[in-house]
Amino acid sequence: MAKHTNMLAQAVAHHQAGRLAEAERGYRAVLAAEPRNADALHLLGVVALQSGRADEAVTQIGKALAQAKGVADYWDNLGSALSAAGRPDDAVQAHRNAATLDPQGAQRRHNLGNALAVLGRHDEAERAFAAALALKPDYAKAWYNLGNGHTAHHRHGDAVTALDHAVRLVPGMAEAHNNLGDALAMSGRLDEAVAQHRLVTRHRPDDATGHYNLGAVLQQKGALESAEIAYRQALKRNPRHSAALNNLGSVLKRLGRPDQAELCHRQALELHPEFVEARYNLGNALQAQGRFDEATACFEEALAQQPDLATATYNLSLLALRHGDLTRGWAGYERRFAAGETLPDRRFDIPRWGGQLLRGKRLLVWREQGVGDEFLFASCYPDVVAWAGGPVTIECDPRLVPLFRRSFPKATVRAESCTGDAFSEIPRETIVPPDCDLQISAGDLPELLRGSLSAFEPQGPWLAADPALVERWRARLAALGPGLRIGIGWRSQLMTVERKAAYVLLEHWGPLFAVPGLVFVNLQYGDCEAELRTAEERFGVTIHRWADLDLKDDFDGTAALTANLDLVISPAMSAG
């Protein structure tokens, strides 16, 4: 017996030193002499598990339990072997047995939690992790897995708290830093998320995935140049990282380099021809280069692979509208909400209006997108009121209520009743308006009212300025002296690299400012005073503006000013 004990001790020493082959030979030697040695059977099973032989591990540990059913370690390791063998339900029961036998063992609760999480039983898993932490508050892995459970339930704030405990206890736990970064990003704390992902790249500088995840958060943050660097670092370590190629392409397209983006997406597709997102993004890169037929083909191929891909349907709708195919264009334009391109995405518990006569029912028309879009869609409001044949309520940006009430006197106009939740990515409430029976978003009106190009015949102004304010501004403009009064605007408040191509810097307006007999009036809202002064000094021109007019928020005043101008020159913006 002493000889067998010594043989077992030597095998355990090999095992602890990581010499699995020598340990296995030692355990088998013990069992050759003592076939029912429970410890040797158990440890031989552990070696098999560590060597990737899960089924053999289950068999050997099962034999150990046949000799000694009351050993918690045996049940715990059997649970791990069963998990590796693809038997998660049996694994849960084994870990429960271990926890019952060792009620003070924090690791037993932790391992039970892991097994439950594999089955998607996250509530039970969280209780198991919490029990482990009650026994051992400094159990970093339990905090880590508890945080992962919170993430699975979309409780990102709780996930941040738990994962923060994990990284404070074990600062080098790269997985915890990574998942903490993800949870922070989902909580909107992007700067902190970037910091966590940078720590991952320091702890694992050669890990392509760490650099990729850093790039993803930087891209979400809008730090496109930094995201490009991170993705290139990922590809330096793994040139076949198709997700990094795809995301790098998206970043390059947004940086105004669609030709380089195209190459990235094509490389991603060479690696994975069924990569739907890369196919769709290739279409975006081609569209940005004006290669509309090729872009259309890419979007259609993406839809053939994934018919519910709303972004592809939406982009096809824009291409169709661009080419005058209004039937297809307006039909696909309905997918803008599902594509995440439009907010607020409101939910109503009343039917959508299909253009039928109201016949005593009440219609709600609700705003979407920005103020400039509201002005555009408002061109349909007189037709809605005339066509519907019943009471119509228009909800708009609160700043537009006076202007819209004056412009559409036959409708009820009120500020939008939307809550903040409707502006989030996942709407959290269904709205039941107490005074309406049917609803439609403003952006859906063109499908009903502008179904053909002939329906876009020129129409008169649909917005009515306040007559008293019009007179006031007439007098103020008259004081400027003779000449054509020209209102100017040159950019949107939302400026991105992609959108810059649609706008012209004020410094390039010199030829217009050189035309004699013109009186220039500023309609550009936002912080533009420095640009105006620079242009005035450079071109020797006066661009009139008034300190008592808020061009961003006072739409009644701006409308009255604009009504007195002879011409407005601007890109697509609320003033134009």
pLDDT of 195-253, one tens digit each?
A: 999 999 999 999 999 999 999 999 999 999 999 999 999 999 999 999 999 999 999 99
256 found inside a domain: no
Domain boundary among the residues 98, 121, 137 is at: 137
Omega within 30 of 0 (cis) for the link into 511: no
For the chain, how many structural domains are there in total? 3
235 found inside a domain: no
Please give the C-alpha separations between residue 48 and each of 52, 56, 94, in angstroms, as whole numbers. 6, 6, 18
Strand partners for 567: 486
508 found inside a domain: yes
271 found inside a domain: no
Q: What is the pLDDT of residue 426?
A: 43
Mean pLDDT of 254-283: 98
Same domain, 519 and 399: no
What is the rounded distance in angstroms from the CA atom of residue 310 to the CA atom of residue 72? 52
CATH of the domain at 100: 1.25.40.10
Half-sphere exposure of 515 (CA within 13 A, CB side): 10
Same domain, 477 and 561: yes
Q: Which amino acid is at 480?
A: L
pLDDT in tens, 406-429: 999 999 999 987 654 444 444 444
Q: Element (H or E) spanning 1, and its range?
A: none
pLDDT in tens, 26-52: 999 999 989 999 999 999 999 999 999
**Cβ–Cβ < 8 Å for 17, 48:** no
Mean pLDDT of 184-193: 96
Mean pLDDT of 430-443: 84
Same domain, 432 and 554: no
Give the domain range for residue 437.
363-456
Q: What is the pLDDT of residue 451?
A: 86
Q: What is the pLDDT of residue 68?
A: 92
209 found inside a domain: no
pLDDT in tens, 354-382: 999 998 899 999 999 889 899 999 999 99
Please give the C-alpha separations between residue 374 and each of 254, 280, 418, 549, in angstroms, as whole numbers. 26, 29, 15, 21
Same domain, 486 and 438: no
Give the pTM: 0.81
Query: Is 80 exceeded by the pLDDT of residue 350?
Result: yes
Same domain, 124 and 25: yes
Q: What is the pLDDT of residue 427?
A: 46
Q: What is the pLDDT of residue 424?
A: 47
Same domain, 373 and 486: no
Q: What is the pLDDT of residue 423?
A: 42
Domain boundary among the residues 102, 120, 137 is at: 137
Q: What average pLDDT does the chain have?
A: 92
Domain boundary among the residues 394, 429, 456 is at: 456
Same domain, 1 and 116: yes
Same domain, 478 and 408: no
Same domain, 447 and 482: no
Q: What is the pLDDT of residue 452?
A: 85
| Phi, psi dihedrals of residue 485, rounded to the nearest 5° | -95, 115
Orientation of helix 242-254 relative to helix 276-288, angle to 10°: 20
185 found inside a domain: no
Select from 258, 194, 254, 185 the least CA-distant residue to 224: 254
Q: Supply the DSSP string of 96-118, one letter for each residue.
A: HHHHHH-TT-HHHHHHHHHHHHH
pLDDT in tens, 56-72: 999 999 999 999 999 99
What is the rounded distance in angstroms from the CA atom of residue 310 to the CA atom of residue 333? 10
Same domain, 20 and 97: yes
526 found inside a domain: yes
Same domain, 368 and 493: no
Number of neighbours of residue 51 by Cβ within 10 angstroms = 13
339 found inside a domain: no
In the chain, the N- to C-terminal Cα span, in Å, equals: 96
Q: Which two tokens stand for residue 573?
A: 């913006």
Strand partners for 70: none
Same domain, 7 and 121: yes
Tell me which DSSP letter residue 348 carries. Answer: B
pLDDT in tens, 529-570: 999 999 999 999 999 999 999 999 999 999 999 999 999 999
